[in-house]
Amino acid sequence: MGTTEIKKTPLNAEHRALKGRMVDFGGWDLPVQYTTVVDEHKTVRTSVGLFDVSHMGEVLVEGPKALEFLNSITTNNISKMVNGQAQYNAMCYENGTLVDDIIIYRRNAESYFVVVNASNTDKDFEWMKAHKPATGVTLENQSAQWGQIAVQGPKARDLVKELVDIKIDDMKFYSFAEGKTVGVPSIIARTGYTGELGFELYVPAHAAPKVWNALIEAGQKYGVKPIGLGARDTLRLEVGYLLYGNDMDNTTTAQECGLDWVTKFDKGNFIGRDVLLSQKEKGLTRQLVGFEMVDKAIGRHGYNVFALQTDNSPCGVVTSGTMGPSINVNFGQAYVPSKLAAEGSTIWVDVRGERKQAKIVSRPFYKNGTARIK
């Protein structure tokens, strides 16, 4: 029986040279950490860190019907976008559950750069192909052509502006421009997954090591460090960002997981609209919430949630959970019945056979991020 060869990003040799601890992450050979998760987490919160996110997928959508097509398969309103704007969005099946959450970059009215989750790249591309019109839209899976480096932290702008040939001081959150990074053609986006000021640099795959090493060298005076998957997860969870495959998937709807803020019913029809609108009007039976442990324990992905300590049957499940290095509490996200979703409600998490008390809290858990700073 054959085995699937693990995939490597263009920066694999750099991670190994930097002594990153490599793991199989969804079929990709990626660093989970270089020093410790806490050290790397705090580096991003206080100075600047570099993430290799080259495993993410990129799909180019072009043509005179590109806008109309994308609006029909996503929940957010793409017609509101302007050139140079990025938009967080979601694609749903007819039953309202998630195909994926994505970011769309509008280059112009007929050209959109769509970034999808790595594990979903092939599935997303096939799903998009299956729903595109016969004419007026072209799709190209460009994932293998791109390297992607996220530069995140309060000092990210200081570092990036030393290496790019465009002005980024006034670049707004969720905007982008095309220029060069150390002479390499790049998409320079003010986006990220950490809650901190940051940029994501999309560069040709073959040039990713050149850009990475230039960032490492120029970033020494800012305390730059490479950051692994472990800290990427704790950083995103502290600010309440969702992870596909944990907090949402093809069994959870966009309303249940809290993506109502990017679901625009007034834009016209889109796939999944009827189910999502019905849920909004009738009310949800379950929803994703934030929780903080009261007892000394960590509620981790897959742990069952109970309404009462003595209940025999679980009422929900933890989707993500960890210890927050910036907030110094054990916390996470879970699906619970809507009657238990109010802030302050008590739930019980089964932690290795013992019921541990937790309380529902508002998100984000960490509120001092610099992502939107001017």
Per-residue pLDDT tens over the stretch 299-335:
999 999 999 999 999 999 999 999 999 999 999 999 9
Residue 2 has pLDDT above 80, yes or no: no
Q: Assign 3 a pLDDT band (cuts: 50, 70, 90).
A: low
What mean pLDDT comes out for the span 14-37? 97
172-191: average pLDDT = 98
Q: Is residue 280 part of a domain?
A: no
Residue 105 placed within a domain: no
Kindly report the CATH number assigned to the domain that includes residue 339.
2.40.30.110
- In terms of domains, do 185 and 290 share one? no
Are 357 and 209 found together in one domain?
no
Strand, helix or coil for residue 219:
helix
Residue-number span of the structural domain to which 227 is assigned: 12-54+144-238
Residues 29 and 175 occupy one common structural domain: yes
**CA 115-121-126 angle, 5° bins:** 110
165 with 24, same domain: the answer is: yes
Average pLDDT, the chain: 97
Q: Is residue 367 in a domain?
A: yes
Q: Which of 176, 211, 238 is the last residue of a domain?
A: 238
DSSP assignment, residue 260? Answer: G
Judgement on whether residues 151 and 234 belong to the same structural domain of the protein: yes
Clarify whether residues 225 and 152 are in a common domain. yes
> How big, in percent rounded to 5, are the helix, strand and coil portions of the chain?
25, 35, 40
Give domain status of residue 98, yes or no.
Answer: no
364 upstream amide cis, omega within 30 of 0: yes
Q: pLDDT: is 5 or 235 the higher one?
A: 235
Cα–Cα distance, 83 to 176 (Å, whole number): 9
Helix (H) or strand (E) holding 132: none
How many angstroms separate the first and last alpha carbons of the chain?
Answer: 55
The reported pLDDT for the residue numbered 4 is 78
Distance CA 107, CA 80 (A): 14
In whole angstroms, give the CA distance from residue 361 to residue 345. 8
The total domain count for the chain is 2
Within this chain, do residues 233 and 302 fall inside the same structural domain, yes or no?
no
CATH code of the domain in which 171 resides: 3.30.1360.120
Shared domain for 36 and 151, answered yes or no, is yes
Q: Is residue 119 part of a domain?
A: no
Same-domain pairing of 28 and 153: yes
Does residue 301 share a domain with residue 215? Answer: no
Domain boundary among 238, 268, 299: 238
Answer whether residue 77 is part of any domain. Answer: no
On whether residue 67 sits in a domain, the answer given is no
Instruction: For residues 233 and 316, state if they share a domain.
Output: no
Q: Classify strands 49-52 and 225-226 as parallel, antiparallel or unpaired.
A: parallel
Confidence of residue 74 (pLDDT cuts 50, 70, 90): very high
Pair (185, 44) in one structural domain: yes
Question: What is the CA 119 to chain-centroid distance, rounded?
Answer: 12
Residue 5 lies in a domain: no
**How far is it, in rounded angstroms, from Cα 6 to Cα 116?**
19
Out of 179, 203, 238, a domain closes at: 238
